[in-house]
Chain A
């Protein structure tokens, strides 16, 4: 912003630059404060806590020890929830992608006048408590409804959906789908339709057009959406608790146990830090992978 307005040939420009810098600072200040107070500070506290020890009656007592991390890393059963979370979050992200992409594409390109109605329908569920929406899946998937119907169809009375990892996966996809759809919708809506027509004119089939035109254009929204859904899924704890009957034990659930059932804040903090590291690593890898593929394709287009 400052660069755009600064023209260093007159005296008044210098004044306006200072003014502009001041304005920039003033505008950034609230968000900077927000970032500092709600992101950097808690992160710092968690990191400091993770090197502490549990106070005799629970909570945090200052110390400097690596015991929390060592205990976590040397016990395979304490690492198990990390991997379960990772698999479920990846599965959930892919699920959101497969459901979300066609949906976003349809709303952006085919819905016409119904566009805003459809967008509204996607948003309305968000007005209800997340917990109540998850509880309602208990009924939909329960043995009186879908679960029972499928059990009857396949003739296995003990078949159930609830309490399986599939129920958790379904809950994850349902719960986070809009976060995936909106970024993709925005990029798809801005897409120049003539590019698709051009592709067809040049003899590309539907699949080739999708792969070489639509998908690369959607990619920024797709990446944003994936990250938006992946990160909260890694920390999810309500869905496995309700739809998974506590049988799918994710990182979020292990964290709750550390803070609630044993009041061991330092150990819980160590888990949280490790979770952040795992997410940072996964997301960076993902972004690197996506960008790498993109450069190659651009080169091939050239």
Chain B
């Protein structure tokens, strides 16, 4: 009956992609993302070792300066030996390197697909480092981390990455499987589809326990009324400024990206009005507060992440997710290629491979987030495919709005901080 620590920790750890969560990753999942330079060196060492073992083997050109001499020797050898070696030539140029360095959210690729990719292209080392939020990714790149090939940021951060010179344009001719729903092409983050390849998408919405909340919850308005009324003190918001501000802005019929002073003044009034009724601001363990047969919280402004596990537990199977009728935010996680990626051929091989319809279908089955690739849908588990929380119907989709990076607006952060100070009473 009482939840054990193990259960909580297991769930915190299993939370697929604790979106924008800081705590969970900082302590539990481990921020020990080895610097790519470091891992680059070790992998080169092993590559050199195997080169010694079989001199005829085709070797990846090395980038680590410490073994530059031996690497160039191997590289020159490769030129003559590559004809004899099994060829992984990939459209349109070059051999696939033996390694790939990726920096991504945790548990965000199906491990089976990683194995298949490695087997298919003869990639020996697939380094998968994780970050807990986009800011961590940006901070690391700003601090000069190099050596990564592929990163998985959220769409709204791509313009900043592009302007900072951290990513390079994608050569779509090398990704023949490029096939995405029109809703995820020509996005506001990349109008020309040159810098990002869509990965997964989802929404910000309302989670509620239908066993306890019998009133209809289909709109932000109803949600807001219920918070201030009957379910005061039984509401969790995720600790994310951009997501929480969606509700008041959509309630007054504005863009969720609004930075107009008049709009934000209204947002401030509305949020301060709601503050006393909120139980918790929590992006890491809000699932626990909603779970169980006597949940602490009945309503939540949050993401779809916890749904899959909560539905499996009979005690919390009544959890419902609603995309509010006034419209809400949709996020799109994407693939980008890092400037100076050491393994470009392996990167393109991966980007194309992951969009094979059956492979992409398995990705969706694993992450539980919607795929923007329609050709993969035939391989997606029907219960997931028919879940409007994961794949919203067309009439809901048209109300969705992508977020742009508004973090430079001072008024927004002032409101957010004041709101947080007022929650405690």
Contacts and interface: CB of A to CB of B under 8 A. Distances in A.
A136 B284 CA distance: 15
A287 to B, nearest CB: 30
Interface in B143-181: 159-160, 163-164
A260 B414 CA distance: 15
B369 to A, nearest CB: 22
A286 to B, nearest CB: 26
A264 B413 contact: yes
Interface string A225-258: 0000000000000100110111111000110111
Given A131-B23, A144-B1, A145-B2, A75 B407 contact: no
Contact of B279 (A59, A238, A245): A245
Contact of A57 (B28, B160, B288, B413): B160
B2 A56 contact: no
B23 A249 contact: no
Contacts of B282: 241, 245-246
A254 B294 CA distance: 32
Interface residues of A, number: 48
B294 to A, nearest CB: 7
Given A57-B405, A78-B417, A247-B281, A256 B22 contact: yes
Contacts of A253: 420
A282 B159 CA distance: 44
Contacts of B281: 245-247
A58 B138 contact: yes
Given A143-B296, A254-B417, A135 B408 contact: no
A77 B421 contact: yes
B421 A260 contact: no
Interface stretch (B4-12, B38-46, B78-86, B336-344): B4-12
A262 B407 contact: yes
A84 B420 CA distance: 12
Contact of B135 (A54, A75, A160, A263): A263
Interface stretch (B64-72, B233-241, B303-311, B383-391): B233-241
Contact of B407 (A131, A245, A246, A263): A263
Interface string A67-96: 000010001011011001000000000000
B54 interface: no
B8 A139 contact: yes
Given A138-B8, A242-B23, A246-B281, A257 B133 contact: no
Contacts of B410: 71
Given A77-B414, A77-B418, A143-B296, A135 B407 contact: no
B87 interface: no
Contacts of B421: 77, 80-81, 84, 249
A135 B414 contact: no
A261 B423 contact: no
Interface of B: 1-5, 8-9, 12, 22-23, 26-28, 133, 135, 138, 142, 159-160, 163-164, 233, 239-241, 278-282, 284-285, 288, 294, 296, 405, 407-408, 410, 412-414, 416-418, 420-421, 423-425
12 contacts: A54-B408, A56-B408, A77-B417, A81-B417, A135-B5, A136-B5, A139-B4, A142-B3, A163-B279, A242-B284, A242-B285, A263-B135
